[in-house]
């Protein structure tokens, strides 16, 4: 599936389409360059899932947990990891195999640790306002 986003106002609809297209999936891997909009899209996905908490990038904490009516939602940012072994330090597998939603930024930092049943979400910048979001099941 591919979604063309012409501006921030289109993100709510894009997030809704992603969640409704993959109702049984819980692991979403977000690929894109710095500034592509990974965190912004994850914020919209969290809104679709009725997160009441403030959402933000977990760049320094590596993982944020948000409460929702769908159970806990985990938001990861692996940008700062220097090796996959650092992911073991916080027990990544307990999150990934919990059955809860996991939104993962910079999954390319831990390629050998990713679940095989994940959904890849790739965001490409077309211009300062427009993005193409490609979604595919691994």
pTM as predicted: 0.94
pLDDT, residue 87, reads 85
Beta bridge pairs of residue 131: 5, 125
Helix (H, G, I), strand (E, B) or coil at 122: strand
Burial of residue 129 (CB within 10 Å: 0-12, 13-18, 19+) is: exposed
Structure tokens at 53: 């908490």
* Residue 122: predicted pLDDT: 98
* Bridge pairing between strands 27-31 and 119-125: parallel
Domain ranges within the chain, ordered by starting residue: 2-137
How high is the mean pLDDT in each 10-residue block of the chain (138 residues)?
93 96 97 95 95 79 89 94 86 92 96 94 94 94
pLDDT at 20: 96
Choose which CATH entry (3.40.50.300, 3.40.50.2000, 3.40.50.800, 3.40.630.30) describes domain 2-137. Answer: 3.40.50.300
Q: What CA–CA distance (Å, rounded) separates 115 from 101?
A: 13
């Amino acid at each position: 599936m591919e979604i063309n986003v012409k501006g921030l106002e289109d993100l709510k609809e894009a997030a809704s389409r992603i969640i409704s297209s993959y109702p049984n999936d819980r692991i979403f891997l977000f690929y894109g360059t710095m500034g592509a909009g990974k965190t912004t899209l994850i914020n919209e996905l969290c809104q679709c899932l009725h997160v009441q908490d403030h959402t933000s990038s977990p760049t320094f904490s590596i993982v944020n947990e948000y409460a929702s009516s769908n159970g806990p939602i985990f938001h990861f940012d692996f940008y700062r990891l220097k090796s996959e072994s650092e992911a073991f330090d916080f027990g990544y597998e307990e999150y990934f195999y919990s059955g809860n939603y996991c939104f993962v930024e910079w999954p390319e930092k831990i390629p050998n640790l990713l679940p095989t049943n994940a959904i890849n979400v790739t965001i490409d910048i077309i211009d300062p306002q427009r993005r193409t979001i490609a979604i595919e099941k691994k």
